[in-house]
Amino acid sequence: AQSVAQPEDQVNVAEGNPLTVKCTYSVSGNPYLFWYVQYPNRGLQFLLKYITGDNLVKGSYGFEAEFNKSQTSFHLKKPSALVSDSALYFCAVRDKAYNTDKLIFGTGTRLQVFP
Amino acid sequence: NAGVTQTPKFRVLKTGQSMTLLCAQDMNHEYMYWYRQDPGMGLRLIHYSVGEGTTAKGEVPDGYNVSRLKKQNFLLGLESAAPSQTSVYFCASSYALAGPTDTQYFGPGTRLTVL
């Protein structure tokens, strides 16, 4: 079965510093991996997606993610954090089978960026 | 283009009462999903639909029913609410997730409290 794990419940970083939010995956076949962000009292918003090709995927709001097949990881990164990046981040993997196409989500990582 | 909308935004029920949550999308998506979000649990799929007139069980379907009589609407019903169903409910919709920009689009959520 497809699954993703987010090993950190919370990540704290100072504004201006680089940030990393970790995600590891377990899939059969080639993975389709996603990152979403959730701001308070809002639905999830799509940040980026990996299908195939370049291991560094660029997304919205200056975020990028690095796909590493040998470590089965898909970490979310940003070179310089902003206070406004403080939110809940979810990693997800596509689960495609006959007559179904859905996402399996991780448990989420809360990012706190301090001024 | 409203995207994905959910009705109502908030609701308080007493144990044993019933209610229906409405999700509507205007993007002509085939797939629609209902999730619940609980602290530390991430998003868990309740039911989903791959097209008008179809429904399927997700990870946590017990205590819920769904219907997709029209392509743009996906209804989630609680026949006899229990305190364990206190949660934030999100609806999402999508095309198939194969392409580089294909993603699920989320509604703003419904906060349900069962007393």
- B60: domain CATH number? 2.60.40.10
pLDDT band at residue B94 using 50, 70 and 90 as cut-offs: very high
Q: What is the pLDDT of residues B29-82, one digit of tens each?
A: 999 999 999 988 889 999 999 999 999 999 999 999 999 999 999 999 999 999
Are the C-beta atoms of residues B108 and B6 closer than 8 Å to each other? yes
Mind telling me how many Å the CA of B73 is from chain A's nearest CA? 18
Range of the domain at B87: 21-95
Please provide residue A61's backbone torsions phi and psi, each rounded to the nearest 5 degrees: 55, 25
Tens of pLDDT, residue by residue over A47-83, are: 999 998 889 999 999 999 999 999 999 999 999 999 9
Residue A39 touches chain B, beta carbons under 8 Å: no
B10-13 and B110-114 strand pairing: parallel
Which residue of A lies nearest to B93 if distances are taken between CA atoms? A102
Q: Determine, for residues B97 and A94 on separate chains, whether the beta-carbon distance falls below 8 Å.
A: yes
Structural domains of chain A, ranges and CATH numbers in brackets: 3-114 (2.60.40.10)
Taking CA–CA distances from A47, the nearest residue in chain B reads: B103
Is B43–A90 a contact, with Cβ atoms under 8 angstroms apart? yes
Given its phi and psi angles, is residue B113 left (phi above 0), alpha (psi -120 to 50 degrees) or beta?
A: beta
Q: What is the residue-wise DSSP string for B71-115?
A: TTEEEEEESS--GGG-EEEEEEEES-S-STT---EE---EEEEE-
Could you give the number of structural domains in chain B? 1
Q: Cβ of B42 and A107 within 8 Å?
A: yes
Would residue B91 count as lying in a domain?
Answer: yes
Contacts of A9 in chain B (CB under 8 A): 40
Q: How far is CA B42 from CA A39, A107, B30, in A?
A: 14, 4, 24
- Residue keyed to tokens 């990540």: A11
Spatial contact of B59 and B42, defined as CB atoms under 8 Å apart: no
- Whether chain B has a CB inside 8 Å of the CB on A51: the answer is yes
